[in-house]
Amino acid sequence: MDHNTEAVSKVTVPWILERKLRGEKIACLTAYDYPTARLVDEAGIELILVGDSLGQVVLGYNSTLPVTVEEILHHLRAVRRATRRALLIADLPYGAYHVSDEKALEVAIRYVKEGGAEGVKIEGGRKRAALIRRMVGAEIPVMAHVGLTPQSLHAMGGYKVQGKTLESATELLADAEALEEAGAFAIVLEGLPRELAAIVTRRLRIPTIGIGAGPDCDGQILVFHDLAGLSFLPRAKFVRPYADTASNLRQALAHFREDILGGLFPGESESYHWPASLGEQFEQSRAANHRPSGDEEPDPVSF
Ligand code: KIV
């Protein structure tokens, strides 16, 4: 048993911060709907992110860029209804924080009021520091996100591991420090060399949550559908599928169809029944109402 799964009834931002002080890891996952969020929460995962990966793994877009605030909110509400213990964080999608800090703050406030989010996640380095300060000033906890930030797909020239040169590694560390300074309560490190993620983790007081950043981060996050083996995207090196849900479902679907075609579904135990006497009553009533042949009205429509 994870030591703290039982010890805490509700995961909070201060609890996440303490976890780093105690040297205990933090397990995080994305979720986008009621049934999977329930399973994630009941498994004791500490933090649930309604990420904009929603766009690719659930909505079938080919990147996270088209995801809208309304789409995140719709899924956030479903996840909120399922989540009792985990800390619930929602992503600001591309475009939600690029026009003005005011607009971004409005979105974050909607997430809290209408979606029940307990914090937001924002991609980007130190250029987000002022926005993060505004959010924290409005009592909204922020999880920062640096490294391979999928919303910068075009600027990065593809999904590429970041921080592989001395210059970019130095920049990344400066970004992470500035975001901590701005008040972020945690920071996602995505697509980084393990060595750099370890340095950032040692240098920061706030927890680092890795995805493709090696095992030395304070916590780890995966996309639910990657973990469950239910994604149609090419599998990234850092993904470990813990289940083969797609194969299980494929087998179940093929079996279901075979049973229908073979007349095996539904069976007796899956059928409802009349009370014993009703069949007889039904036949008697039909016989009583049946007019002798010859008296029948002609069918108004004949073929
Ligand atoms: O949208 C998302 O799922 C994310 C995680 C991968 C960190 O940003």
137 shares a domain with 179: yes
Mean pLDDT (whole number) for 230-258: 97
Total domains in the chain come to: 2
pLDDT for res 174: 98
Q: Last residue of some domain: 222, 244, 266? A: 244
What pLDDT is recorded for position 3? 47
H helix or E strand, kind and range, residue 47: strand 47-50
Q: What is the mean pLDDT of residues 258-263?
A: 98
Which domain range does residue 275 map to? 250-289
Q: Confirm whether 94 is domain-assigned.
A: yes
CB-ligand 1 contact for 144 (6 Å cutoff)? no
Residue 300: inside a domain = no
**Is 55 in the same domain as 101?**
yes
Residues 97, 188, single domain; the answer is: yes
Based on the residue annotation, tell me whether 177 is a catalytic residue of this protein. no
**Residue of 190, 258, 270, 280 marked catalytic:** 190
Query: Could you tell me if 267 and 194 lie in one domain?
Result: no
CB atoms within 10 A of CB 63: 15
Atom of ligand 1 nearest to the CA of 190: 7
- pLDDT for 8-66, tens place per residue? 799 999 999 999 999 999 999 999 999 999 999 999 999 999 999 999 999 999 999 99
**Mean of the per-residue pLDDT values for the chain?**
94
Same domain, yes or no: 189 and 277:
no
**Which is the closest atom of ligand 1 to the Cα of 30?**
3
Residue 298 within a domain: no
pLDDT score of 301 more than 80: no
167 and 39 fall within a common domain: yes
pTM here is 0.92
Query: Mean of the pLDDT values across residues 271-288?
Result: 91
Q: Is residue 145 part of a domain?
A: yes
- Any idea which of 3-7, 74-78, 126-130, 255-259 has the lowest mean pLDDT? 3-7
Using CA atoms in the order 136, 103, 171, 207, what is the torsion angle rounded to 10 degrees?
30
In a domain? residue 49:
yes
The CATH number linked to 233 is 3.20.20.60
- The mean pLDDT of 196-214, rounded to a whole number, is 98
Residue 76 belongs to some domain of the structure: yes
The band of 302, judged by pLDDT with boundaries at 50, 70 and 90, is very low
In the three-class reduction of DSSP (H, G, I as helix; E, B as strand; rest coil), residue 205 is classed as coil
- Residue 212 burial (C-beta neighbours within 10 Å; 0-12, 13-18, 19+): buried
Shared domain check, 84 and 16 = yes
Handedness of CA 89, 95, 99, 103 (dihedral sign): negative
